[in-house]
Amino acid sequence: MLIDWFTVCAQALDFLILVWLMKRYLYKPVLDAINVRETRIAAEIADADAKKAEALKERATFQSKNDDFDKQRAALLSKANDDVKSARQRLLDEARQAADALSAKRQETLRDDARNLNQAISRRTQQEVFGIARKALTDLAASDLEERMCAEFIRRLQAMEGEAKQAFGAALVAAPAPAVLRSAFDLPKEQHTQIQNALNQTFAAEIPVQFLTDTHLISGIELTANGQKLAWSIADYLVSLEHGVDELLKQKGRTDVQPAQERAVAPKPDSSEPSTTAPGKASP
């Protein structure tokens, strides 16, 4: 008999006991451990998902803030660039204006210096020229020259006409004191006589004359009577020439102001050179 029923019952009992033992010591602990682990892993995954979602949200927020920051930075940079450009332009304009002003002032100063130098040179030249002329004429004065001056004085006296002659004649006649005739040198007696005769003839009267010597007259003769004066001397020419040169220099100074202002915009390095007429070229 292949089947032993006692063994069958015993094996069935053994199997049921083994089922209980396996459930007690194998399946339940292992399945519990697996469930705990799966629960923990699920919780970790859920936590990780939550953290990932939070991280994504924060990343989006950060990205948004970054974008805003970039926009603000770009706007600030653009504004700063514009401000810098405008400030640079303003400073350049101010610097250019200041430089122009300084340049103009410098040009003006240079022109003033040149003008002053020119004027000083002109005055000095004028004084030197006239001094030389006076000295030369003084040195050259001699009897022949006195004769020529006397003759020229008489010619002028005789050439007087009209109101001037009448007024001078009235002054000579009405003068309480004798008329005074000044000359640079003592006139000879002969010339005293010629002048006296010429006066008497010209004004048809006996004119009393007092002959004096005045060293300030340069080669000249001067007749004064009762406020009227008739004179001829080289000094008169020189004074007239000096007045003419002074007037010419004044006109020259006025005409230099206008071109100088135009040259101030583009000054030249050699503009300090005097541009006025050289002293040697000053003409009487």
Using CB under 8 A as the criterion, which residues of the chain lie in contact with other proteins when the complex forms?
A: 2-12, 14-23, 25-27, 29-34, 36-37, 40
Spatial distance between the Cα atoms of 142 and 271, rounded to a whole number of angstroms: 49
CB nearer to other proteins: give 3 or 177: 3
Q: How far is the CB of 24 from other proteins (least distance, A)?
A: 8
CB nearer to other proteins: give 6 or 139: 6
82, 89 Cβ separation under 8 angstroms: no
Q: How far is the CB of 46 from other proteins (least distance, A)?
A: 17
Indicate left, alpha or beta for 77 from its phi (over 0: left) and psi (-120 to 50: alpha). Answer: alpha
CB nearer to other proteins: give 36 or 95: 36
Q: How far is the CB of 11 from other proteins (least distance, A)?
A: 4
DSSP character for 270?
T
Closest CA to 270 of 99, 120, 110: 110
CB nearer to other proteins: give 33 or 164: 33
Ramachandran angles phi, psi of 146, nearest 5°: -65, -40
Spatial distance between the Cα atoms of 136 and 152, rounded to a whole number of angstroms: 20
Q: How far is the CB of 56 from other proteins (least distance, A)?
A: 26
Ramachandran angles phi, psi of 236, nearest 5°: -65, -45
Q: How far is the CB of 59 from other proteins (least distance, A)?
A: 29
CB nearer to other proteins: give 26 or 75: 26
